[in-house]
Structure 1
C-alpha cells in the first residue's frame, strides 16, 4: 500500500489581535501534531508575535486587545489560569513540532523594524511572498489567512 503524505498547511498571520494570533498558533501546532507539514508566515501586525522582550515585558504584549477588550498580557494570564496554553507555550510547541516560522521581509520594512527587533531564541526564517508561496504549494498545500 502506498503511503500518502499529509497536505501542507500554510498560515499567513497578518492580524495583530491577540485572540487571532493565539488561535493561529493553536491551528499550526494542532496540524503539526497530526504530522502535517506547517509553515507560519508572519507579516503586518502579526510580526508583533515574535518581537524581542523589552525591559522584561514580552514583545508580543504589543498585540492588540482581545475581542473582550482585555490586553494581550491580561488575556494570556487568564488563559494560563484556565488551563489554556499561553502564547509562549503554544509558540514553543510550534517550534518543537517543527513548524517553519517565516518573518516577511516586506512586512519588516513597512513596519520600520529590523532583524534585531526580533527574538533570537526562535528558529526564524526570513523570506518574502515568493518564498512563502513556493513552500505553500508543496504537498497539495492549503493556505489560511488570519
Structure 2
C-alpha cells in the first residue's frame, strides 16, 4: 500500500502540451517509486482528457518527444492509469468550459469532483503542485 509520504497532488490547469506532459511525467515517476499521485484536471487542463486524441496547444511536440526517446503523452497517460493514479476532473472547470463529462476519454478512470475533494485527498506528507 502506498503511504502519502512524498506523494503528489498535481493541479493541471493549463491546456498547453508542456504543462500536461510534465504533470503526467511527475505522476508516473511518483507512482513508479510507490508514492501516490492525484491528477486534478481543471479549466484548460481538462482538454487533455478530451478525445483521444487530446486537444492540447503545441501538440506537434509529442512527435518530437517520441523521436527523442522521451515518453509521449499517450505512453505517460497510460502509465498513470496502469500504475493507479487518482484522476479527478473539476466539476467547476467542466461547467466553466461547457464540457459534458460524456465528452471525456473512457479509457481514463476519473471522478468528477471539486477542490474540496482534492484537498481532502491530499494527505499530510503529500506535495500539492500547480502546473
Q: What TM-score do the two structures reach when normalised by structure 1?
A: 0.84
Which of these two proteins has the greater Rg computed from alpha carbons? 1
Q: Give yes or no for the alignment of 1:81 onto 2:80.
A: no
Cα distance per residue 1:37-72 (max 9 Å; x no partner): 11000001000111023xxxx1x1x2112xxxxxx0
Unaligned runs of 5+ in 1: 66-71
Which of 62, 79, 83 aligns to 1:93? It is: 79
C-alpha RMSD of the superposition: 1.3
Moved over 3 A (4+): none
Unaligned runs of 5+ in 2: none
Deviation, structure 1 residue 7: 3.0
Match of 2:127 in 1: 142
Secondary structure of residue in 2 paired with 1:63: coil
- 2-structure distance, mates of 1:21, 1:96: 18
Distance 1:116 1:91, change over 3 A: same
